[in-house]
Structure 1
Amino acid sequence: MISTILIIDDSDFQRKYLTSILKDKFSLYEASTIEDARNVYQSKKIDLIIVDNILEKSNGYQFTQMLRMDKEYGNIPVIMASAMDRPHDVQLGFESGINGYLFKPVNKERLFEMIFVLETDNKPKRKEKVLIIDDSKMIRSILKRAFEASGFTVTEAENGKEGYEAALRFKPDIITCDIEMPVMTGLEFVEAFRKHDEFSKIPVYMITTRIDDALREKAFKLGISEYIAKPFDPSEVTKIISKKLDVKYSMGKKPLILLADDSKAALHITEHTLLTNGYLVETVRTGLDALECIKKKKYDLIITDYYMPAMDGFTLISETKKIDINAKTPFIILSGADKKTTIMESFVHGAVDYVSKPFEENELIARITKILEL
């Protein structure tokens, strides 16, 4: 529970502005320098620090790095409030160890939302283990704090070779991995790791500054689960991973969607869209695999590509109608084949909707919501 906040800003106006926003709900302390701030958090119980990134004789990045090195006070959450809105400035903030970044003038609703998220981040202990592989000690530290705050058990490695050896010993449930590392790259790690049958389904999340499409496609072909670009918000990373893991433990509480697509990239994008909008998702890459799932379990909605090996989307719909538990389950065809004849055939075969790739997230979710309400 956050009840006491320290505001660090060398501008009297900015301190007064933040005080006016927060004074009715929190106990507040102010400081205009890092030295004054240190005296406050060492003598008072501070639950949250809000710091400007530009301070007289110093800056918020240096302050946060210094705080994170302090064994006694290093876990105090920090929000950076800044007039600097370049991606590089945001990246520097998260690399220094902040928990959130707000642009000035600070929006009251966004500030309270961020405080609420920090309050709810004190989650109970989870059973899952995370392996973080990155040659940047700072990135490992940021991710470790975020995962541990969410209740995960964490171990670290600074290159792909160490990560591979740690994975064999530690047997993690989740792995985050950079791409460009010495000794063994992230892609080389994934390729070697996936050769072990027992590790074939452990999710691997690439977190990297490399964002070119060819590299992304290669990573998905090797079997990664998610491709996250730096700079990143560590709390968002843990939310994405927690949400995917929670599908295993929450079956039946939310609408369950079966997603079939032979393209790893398309499957990943659609799965991510559905998960972040609160749906439970199971994925398969062929029509035959989809049919096996449909025989065993009731789904609220089935989304399928049209072109798939062995069994296409239309045949899958026809075969599903013969299976009692899913005979009335609605189908959406999600396909890059946008010919009018294909669209019309989709409805003739029994689909309730057709969405063209690439899709707009808001449109897809709106259509799904409407179908599930019927």
Structure 2
Amino acid sequence: MPAEQAEPRILIADDSLSARDFLKSQLTALRPRIYEAENGVDALEIACSKYLDLIITDVQMPGMDGLSLCRKLKDDPTTQGVPIIILSNLESDQDITKGFDVGAVCYLAKSECKSELLQRVERTLERAALLRGKGVLVVDDSNSIRSVVCRSLAQAGFRVVEAENGREALSRLSSFQPDLILSDIAMPVMDGQTFCKAVRAMELYQSIPFVAMSSSSDRRMLRQMSEKGADAYLVKPFNVEEVVLLAEKLLSDHGMMLLQERSRLTRERTMLLSAIASLIQALEARDAYTRGHSESVASISKSLAEHMGLPPDNVERIVLAARLHDIGKIGIADSVLLKEGKLSDEEYDNIRSHPLKGAQILKPIPSMQSILDAVMYHHERMDGSGYPLGLKGSSIPLDARIVAVADVYDALTSNRPYRRAMSYEEASVVIKEMRGGHLCPDCVDAFMTMMKDSDVGGSNGQKRQRNGKRQVQNAQ
């Protein structure tokens, strides 16, 4: 089951208490929130007042039968998207057809419930979760065709927007981003071929499914639409259920492909970060005085970014950049990196090259593109005296400015061969002096407020020093 369906909300409508209890027992593995109704009238009231993921209904019930309940639910825009499973002792082909005609997604004989109900419910919920909220743009110059197709898609749970021709459809794209496009071919103003070509020319819509509709089954026309970028072709007149099933299949396949791709990228990213983490550990193992520096800078950067109210995605990006901000030091020789005496000009220039080296290491990796700025520019200064490019003021990316404050604070409060670790109070004085010249004023102000709010240093001015891996206390 998808994570968002951990507690599906299911309405069971059946006039038999024992039947409802049996159905509930069959669904316990899903840990659902169950609502019960003993007739169609009560079921309709619950469906109109509660958010539901699924409705399971009997056909023969007093007051309002299951078929009438389905019709009313599918006629109401607020409930027409909720999938309905019909359970019944009526098993003839005619009865089953009636069930599908009123909008049920599944018709199951009660005798098959014990062996098939759970599987059918799981499949229905998974498909509904995958398709929930998907948008379809329907383009056709025929009002009657648009009306029928749009109504059927809306009843299946899709968000639907319509247009009379290709030009109007293009204008709809400015305010509506569809997941699927259904378009007639022969239309005035702009025909379907021109519209399809225009859609495929836009990067945002190059991969979404496009279905062409036409009364012509000419092979040449089919080939032309395929060359323009159409993924499927419907020949008029068609049964509207064909449209719904095709839309569900295309979007399910497309959605599963995207989910699989996202999962693949997540796995690759995790493996990549593990490999990079190993490099960072190897880097910091060269120098006992900087061991744990990257994680500490990442922790402080995270706290500062959150304190500044940045969105979660931005915070995540900044944390990753902070972890990798010194990755370029891998390319610095030990004789230079670990030298305790004064560096020569050439050696100092070598040290100053590590931001650029870091960006060069990460640049070939697609998933690292968003953090290149912070890695490359975290040693730039507000007055333009930093490196590697001498950027000034707001031309320095915010991510880099945040990491710079965290980097300086952690360096000041860490033991070094040439000095002891500063206390919070001592480091604060230095950082305040750097405000506006070296460090971003906004970031420094936010940092000082954050540290004060977290009571680092203590109300009695007690000094806290950091040694080795210990991170800044209470600033996370």
Normalising by the smaller structure, the TM-score range is: 0.3 to 0.5
Tell me the TM-score normalised to structure 1 length: 0.45
Structure in which a larger fraction of residues adopt helix: 2
**Which structure is larger by alpha-carbon Rg, 1 or 2?**
2
Tell me the TM-score normalised to structure 2 length: 0.37
